[in-house]
């Protein structure tokens, strides 16, 4: 166990956050772990639990974690997936202290496909994208929707990674999740949007030294994942939809599966290491279930 003081939740969270920055994790994962561990430490403080004493007793630690799991389910009313995500973050925190996390059973997850935009929602979203004033907004959203790349992969793209003219239009992800390389074809709509952004990018930054990143912020530096997320959510808000880069990715992969694209090809496009991950998109969605129940009343 680490010899650092565990008495102050604020002090403990600060030290854990500093350590997190040195770990090979994405920024999003670091933020999630920090937030969820902070919430757990607040729960312990309110319950009057001594973290040092808990680490000295595996049975007590397991009991507290099971109580916290019930708290997340019943009091906080979190979904099974979110409850599991909190438990994973706490496991990571316990391992940071050199301890072995107790085996707290995870929640069984509903067997359904990842949440994608329905067909009518896709039309609304595309109309909102077309109405966006800035070329960067149109390029970002269409690139995410029609390639399914992750938001971190989008931020990492450089100008030389996109080919928007000629017969072989494509985007190259040089180091995706798991450090995998892949190439994804670009359809005409996405290619034209990126081409327009590249023209505007050249007009705005062509006379100054800027980073080779495909997407730049107003200062000419590589755009952050947070700024990309804001671009996506802004367009979603314009058409009354809750949209994120992750949901656009799910939409692309869902569309491919429902078009009966070979799962191996879908896995390649999505950058999935395991085919089991891709098979989730063959499961019924919540929309499918709702339609099945509605059809009972409209034979």
pLDDT value, residue 3: 39
Given strand 170-173, what is the order of strands in its sheet? 162-163, 170-173, 182-185
- Average pLDDT of span 276-289: 81
Of 205 and 288, more confident: 205
> What is the pLDDT confidence band of residue 4, given thresholds at 50, 70 and 90?
very low
- The predicted structure's pLDDT at residue 72: 96
Domains and CATH numbers, the chain: 9-96 (1.10.150), 119-290 (1.10.443.10)
Q: What is the pTM of this model?
A: 0.67
Tell which wins on pLDDT, 153 or 23. 153
Average pLDDT value for the chain: 90
Task: Return d(Cα 188, Cα 185) in angstroms, integer.
Answer: 10
DSSP symbols for 13-36:
HHHHHHHHTTSS--HHHHHHHHHH
Per-residue pLDDT tens digits for 47-94: 988 887 888 888 899 999 999 999 999 999 999 889 999 999 999 999
Closest CA to 214 of 170, 164, 155: 155
Residue 6 has pLDDT above 50, yes or no: no
pLDDT of residue 252: 96
């Amino acid at each position: 166990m680490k010899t650092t003081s565990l008495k102050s939740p604020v002090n403990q969270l600060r030290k854990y956050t500093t350590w997190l920055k040195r770990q090979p994790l994405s920024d999003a994962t670091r933020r999630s772990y920090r937030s969820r561990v902070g919430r757990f430490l607040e729960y312990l403080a309110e319950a009057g639990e001594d973290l040092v004493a808990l680490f000295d007793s595996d049975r007590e630690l397991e009991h507290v974690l099971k109580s916290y799991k019930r708290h997340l389910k019943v009091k906080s009313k979190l979904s099974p997936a979110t409850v599991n995500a909190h438990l994973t973050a706490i496991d990571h925190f316990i391992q940071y202290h050199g301890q072995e996390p107790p085996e707290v059973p995870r929640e069984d997850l509903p067997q359904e496909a990842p949440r994608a935009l329905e067909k009518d929602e896709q039309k609304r979203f595309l109309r909102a994208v077309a109405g966006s004033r800035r070329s960067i907004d149109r390029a970002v959203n269409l690139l995410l929707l029609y390639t399914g790349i992750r938001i971190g992969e989008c931020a990492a793209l450089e100008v030389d990674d996109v080919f928007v003219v000629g017969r072989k239009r494509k985007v190259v992800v040089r180091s995706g999740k798991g450090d995998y390389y892949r190439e994804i074809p670009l359809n005409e709509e996405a290619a034209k949007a990126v081409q327009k952004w590249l023209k505007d990018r050249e007009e705005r930054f062509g006379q100054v030294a800027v980073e080779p990143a495909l997407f730049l912020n107003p200062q000419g530096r590589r755009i952050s994942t947070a700024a990309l997320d804001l671009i996506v959510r802004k367009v979603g808000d314009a058409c009354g939809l809750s949209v994120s880069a992750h949901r656009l990715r799910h939409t692309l992969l869902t569309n491919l599966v429902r078009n009966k694209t070979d799962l191996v090809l879908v896995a390649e496009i999505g950058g999935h290491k395991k085919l089991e991950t891709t098979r989730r998109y063959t499961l019924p969605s919540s929309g499918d279930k709702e339609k099945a129940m509605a059809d009972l009343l409209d034979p």
